[in-house]
Structure 1
Amino acid sequence: MNDKLAARSGGKCELSGDNGELVVYSVGPENYGAKEINIAKKLADQLSGVEPFAADDWRFLPEAMWSEVPAVQVLSWRLLNHLKNESWAADALDIIYLDDERLAWAKAAPLELGTNETLEQHKDANGNILQHGDSVVLTKTLDVKGSSISAKLGTVVRNIRLVEGNPEQIEGRVEGQLIVILTKYLRKQ
């Protein structure tokens, strides 16, 4: 770690502010003059895929996004964008401000996490992980948009399919019609 970087960070993670083992993390791409920041090793391990990505470990981002360090702002924006399905991250994304140059930098290199990423898990209202083919029970009576069908509380939906790219939705058949259901209204059977 170079002296200038160590002095700027004060020996702390520039994202979370935590003390502990730090590593130098490069916020690319190179054509934006990849800037280096100090981050906690456990966070770097999640970004590289050495450790599973855990959304709750990043709850400090709404504070980090206001850093005066451009690379911290850019990485915070990328992480918040990646975590936008989390309500706290979506709220932070609504208020974050990056000037045009930093926003272009943030968008120039999408966040690519390692292969152990766990963010895309579909979970029912109780936090149980859902998989293709599971059976679920509705925990609320739901009116199906664009149809006269009303899916009643307690209805069992068998052989569900997970909606790729949106961990808050599954597909299933109710009264013979394929519908999309929000996972927060389900419990695994």
Structure 2
Amino acid sequence: MSTEATLLARSGSKCELCSAETSLSPYVVAPHTQLSVDHGVMICDHCKAQLEEPEQTDVNHWHCLNESMWSEHPPVQVLAWRQLKQLSAENGWAHDLLDMMYMEEDVQKWAESGLNDVQEKTLDANGAELNKGDNVTVIKDLPIKGTKQVIKQGTVIRGIGLSDDPTLVSGKVNGQSMYVIAAFCRKK
């Protein structure tokens, strides 16, 4: 039996992420490059397009990960973990699912290694790369967690710092050091 036929049988002829039954194709989970049962999944075109172009992510579509994250197959677990990790910065439900997820140590390392390859640059709301020392403007009112304070739209954060998490920048706002989601900033 071919690898594609084996994946199709394993998945029950459904997308292994969202359970769609149409437009299925095999997908190799990075950093692997050769399709195999151990490194591939069967996914629909909709999931594939969003994995390959994260800026077009339909957040509501990914609620399907609530089911697929429990798959017994490591490549499915890896993709579910990576997608939840990318969504968790802005979506509480994704963060909650990520906290519940368990993977074997080698599968966790696989998931983390691929995420670093995919998401290494910190980008602003317009997709411009942010670097340490840049000045940014906040593009919408942002509530500060744990307080009733708000960072107002138009606030300038000077000399930002970068963190291990490429979705965040650090800086001082009103004399207080904090992290801000890079997607809510615009490079000056």
TM-score (norm: length of structure 1): 0.61
Counterpart residue number, 1:147: none
Counterpart residue number, 1:48: 52
RMSD across aligned positions (CA): 4.3
Residue deviations 1:39-61, cap 9 Å, x none? 11121112222x73325121211
The letter for the 1-side match of 2:55 is P
Counterpart residue number, 1:87: 92
C-alpha displacement at 1:178, in angstroms? Answer: 6.1
Residue deviations 1:143-172, cap 9 Å, x none? 7xxxxxxx9889786445688657688867
SS of 1:2 mapped into structure 2: helix
Number of aligned residues: 163
C-alpha displacement at 1:7, in angstroms? Answer: 1.4
| Counterpart mapping for 1:154-165 below 5 A | 158-159=155-156
| Counterpart mapping for 1:30-109 below 5 A | 30=32, 35-49=39-53, 52-54=55-57, 56=59, 57-85=61-89, 86-109=91-114
Counterpart residue number, 1:12: 14
Query: Which structure shows the bigger proportion of residues in helix conformation?
Result: 2
> In the superposition, relative to structure 1, how do residues 121 and 17 fare at CA in structure 2: closer, same or farther (>3 Å)?
farther
- Asked whether the equivalents of residues 138 and 153 of structure 2 are also in contact (C-alpha less than 8 Å), the reply is no
In structure 1, stretches of 5+ residues that fail to align are: 123-130, 144-150, 184-189
Of structures 1 and 2, the larger Rg is shown by 1
- Asked whether the equivalents of residues 55 and 83 of structure 1 are also in contact (C-alpha less than 8 Å), the reply is no
- Asked whether the equivalents of residues 132 and 160 of structure 1 are also in contact (C-alpha less than 8 Å), the reply is yes
The letter for the 1-side match of 2:63 is R
> In the superposition, relative to structure 1, how do residues 159 and 23 fare at CA in structure 2: closer, same or farther (>3 Å)?
same
- Asked whether the equivalents of residues 82 and 111 of structure 2 are also in contact (C-alpha less than 8 Å), the reply is yes
Residue deviations 1:44-92, cap 9 Å, x none? 112222x733251212112111012221012111222222212111111
Query: Aligned partners of 2:143 and 2:112: how far apart in 1?
Result: 39
Q: Percent sequence identity over matched residues?
A: 27
- Asked whether the equivalents of residues 18 and 47 of structure 2 are also in contact (C-alpha less than 8 Å), the reply is no
The letter for the 2-side match of 1:62 is N
